[in-house]
Amino acid sequence: MFLKILMLVLFFGLMLGVGWYCRKHSTDVNGFVLGGRSVGPWLTAFAYGTSYFSAVIFVGYAGQFGWKYGLASTWVGLGNAFVGSLLAWGVLGRRTRLMTQQLNSRTMPDFFEKRFDSKALKIGASLIIFVFLIPYTASLYNGLSRLFAMAFNIDYTLCIIIMAVLTGIYVIAGGYMATAINDFIQGIIMLVGIAAVVAAVLRNNGGFLGAIQNLAQVEDPSVSNVPGVFASFFGPDPLNLLGVVILTSLGTWGLPQMVQKFYAIKTESDIAKGTVISSIFALVVAGGCYFLGGFGRLYADRIDIAVDGYDAVVPTMMESLSPFLIAVIVILVLSASMSTLSSLVLASSSTLTLDLIKDNLVHDMDEKKQVRVMRSLIVVFILISVILAVIQYRQNVTFIAQLMGVSWGALAGAFLAPFLCGLYMRRTSKAAVWVSFVWGAGIMVVNLFARSAFPALLQSPINCGAFAMLSGLIIVPLISMFTKAPRRETIDFAFAAYDRKVTVQARNALGGD
C-alpha cells in the first residue's frame, strides 16, 4: 500500500509541477488554446495519442470487445493505429495546419464559420460540441471504480473528485502547453504500463502460445458453434467487429479535441515525425489493450457478465498480478483518463468561449478576459462531468450512460465529412455542412430514443455511428453539387493557404525548416 500511495503522490506532484511551469505560456488566447502554434512533434504526437485512448478503452472497450470477439478484437487496435493515427496525420495534418492558420481559426466551429462564411454554422457546431462532449467527458471515469476498489479500497466518488481536481489545476494553470507536456509524460507511462501488463497476463496463462491454445478451447454456443472461434483471425462476428473498427478509427477525423492537435504543429518535419510517433504509440497502446482484452474469456470462471458487466473483465485479469504491477496499472489508467479529460475540457471551454460567448453574448472581450472565461468554464465542465459520473454510478441512470455511448458517433457523424471536404473540396457548400450536422447528430439522437425502429444492424450505437460517418462522406459532396457554393472570395482566400510559396507549394510542405 505504501508503494501504491507513493507512486500516486509522485505522479500527481509531477502533473501539478508541469502546470505551474507552463503558466507563462498561457497568458493569451493563442498560447492557452494552441501553445502558440509552436508545439514540437513528440508533444503533438503524444497529445494526439493520449487524447485518443482513455480508461474507456483500457477497461471498457478492451473488456467488452475482447469478450465478444476474442483475439480478433486486436483488429480494432490495428485500425486505430493505421486509420485513426497514420492515415489521419497524412490526410489531415498538413492541410489542417495550413488552412486554420490562413483563416486564423482556433477551434473547429471557428473553422466552419470562416471556411463557409457563416456565423450560424459556428453557433450550430458549438451547440453540438457542448451537448455531446460533456457526457463523453463524464464517461472517462468509467472503469476507475473497480480498479481503485481493487488497489486502494476507497470510494469511487472520492477517486473521481481527486482526479478531476488535479487535472483541472494543471490545465487551468498551463493551458495547452501543460496539457501537451503532461500528455507526453502520461504517454510514456501508458506505453510502459501496457507492455508490462500484457507480458504479465501472458506469463500467467502459459506464455503467448499457451494462452492462444487455451483461448482456442473456449466455447460459447450462445455466440458461435465454431471450434476455436475466439482465437480465430476474424472472430465470431466480423461484421459488427468492422463497425467497431470504423467508429473508433475513422471517428477521430471528426472529433474536435483530436483535430485541434493539428492546429499547433510547427514545421513540415514535425508532421513526418509526428505521424510515425503517433502511429507507433497507437499500435502499442491500442493494439496492446485490445490484444489483452482478447484473452478475457480465460477468466470466465471468475466473471458473471450478466451481473458484473464488461467493465469487470480487465480488472479481474489484473487481480492476480503483483502489487507493483497493480500500482502501475492504476497509474496507467489514471494517465489515460487525465490526458483525455484535459483535452476534452480544454476543447469544450475554448469552443464555448471563442465561438458562442464572444461577440454573441459578450462583446468587447479582450485576450485576458477570454482566457479568464475559458479557465472558469474548465471548472464548470469538470464539475458537470463529475456530477454526471457520480449520478450514473450511484443511481444507475441509464439515459446518461446511453448518451455517453452515442457521443462519439454524433460528433464524428456531424463533423467528419464537412471538415474533410472543407479542406479538400472548393465546391463544398454551407447547405451541405448543415445537412451533415443535422444528419450526424440527429440520427444518433433518434437511435438513442427509438432504437427498435432501426434495422437490426443499426440498432447498435456503434454501427449507427459508423453509418453516420460513412454516409456523411457521400451526402456532403452530393448536396454540394446542387447547392450554392460559398463566395468566390471566401474560397480563394481559404485555399490560398496551399499556394503560398515556400521552397515548394505549401500543399506539399509547411516550410519553416
The C-alpha atoms of residue 331 and residue 333 are separated, in whole angstroms, by: 6
Q: What is the pLDDT along the chain (513 residues), one digit of tens a residue?
A: 777 778 778 888 888 888 888 777 677 777 777 666 667 788 888 888 888 887 778 777 888 899 999 999 999 999 999 999 999 999 999 899 999 989 988 889 999 999 999 999 999 999 998 888 887 777 777 656 666 666 676 777 887 888 888 888 888 888 878 888 888 888 888 888 888 889 988 998 889 899 999 999 988 888 888 888 888 889 899 999 999 999 999 999 999 888 888 887 877 788 888 899 999 999 999 999 999 999 988 988 888 887 777 878 888 888 777 877 877 777 877 787 777 788 888 888 888 887 778 777 777 777 788 888 888 888 888 888 888 888 877 776 656 556 666 888 999 999 999 999 999 999 999 999 999 999 999 999 999 889 899 999 999 888 999 999 999 999 999 999 999 999 999 999 999 988 877 666 666 666 655
Model-level pTM?
0.86
Confirm whether 470 is domain-assigned.
no
Q: Are 234 and 228 in contact (CB under 8 A)?
A: no
Tell me, yes or no, whether 480 lies in a domain. Answer: no
Q: Is 513 helix (H, G, I), strand (E, B) or coil?
A: coil
CATH number at residue 166: 1.20.1730.10
The cell for 46 is: 503524444
Do the beta carbons of residue 341 and residue 257 sit within 8 Å? no
Q: Is residue 267 part of a domain?
A: yes
Enclosing domain of residue 246: 2-391
| Chain centroid to CA 12 | 22
Q: CA-to-CA distance for 335 and 189, rounded, in angstroms?
A: 7
Q: Radius of gyration (Cα) for the chain, nearest Å?
A: 22
In a domain, 283, yes or no: yes
pLDDT at 408: 87
Residues 6+ apart with CB under 8 A from 434: 121, 124
Domains identified in the chain, total number: 1
In a domain, 268, yes or no: yes
Count other C-beta atoms under 10 Å from residue 133's C-beta. 24
Residue 448 lies in a domain: no
204 found inside a domain? yes
- In this structure, is residue 468 part of a structural domain? no
Q: How far is CA 47 from its chain centroid?
A: 10
CB 64 within 8 A of CB 310: yes
Length of the chain: 513
